[in-house]
Amino acid sequence: MIHLKVFSISWCKPCKAMEPALQELADRGLTIVKVDVEKQKAIAEMHGVRGVPTLKLYREENLVGRHTGAMTLAQLEAFTKKAEAQLPGLT
């Protein structure tokens, strides 16, 4: 299973700008886990988040991609295809 963890803050303009693209991917079936770094500081620290938005892409439980900064829908699609292209068992 491929899933995307999105670390953001409610007042972050780039984070808000990504919402429609993230919703589009969720509507297509991608599992997206959103983490508010102000409300869930310990989780953000555990993941080494230093800026927002930070996106971490997983295939199964293996991290296959990480990006800090806003992305367009086309960029997010390319980013998520990276996980789809990974061979099973490889990180």
Where b means 16+ CB within 10 Å and e means fewer, 41-60 reads eeebeebebeebbbbbbbbe
Q: Is 4 a catalytic residue?
A: no
Q: Is 46 a catalytic residue?
A: no
List the catalytic residue out of 6, 12, 22, 71.
Answer: 12
Nearest to 34 by CA among 75, 69, 3: 3
List the catalytic residue out of 4, 5, 6, 15.
Answer: 15
Q: Which residues are catalytic?
A: 12, 15
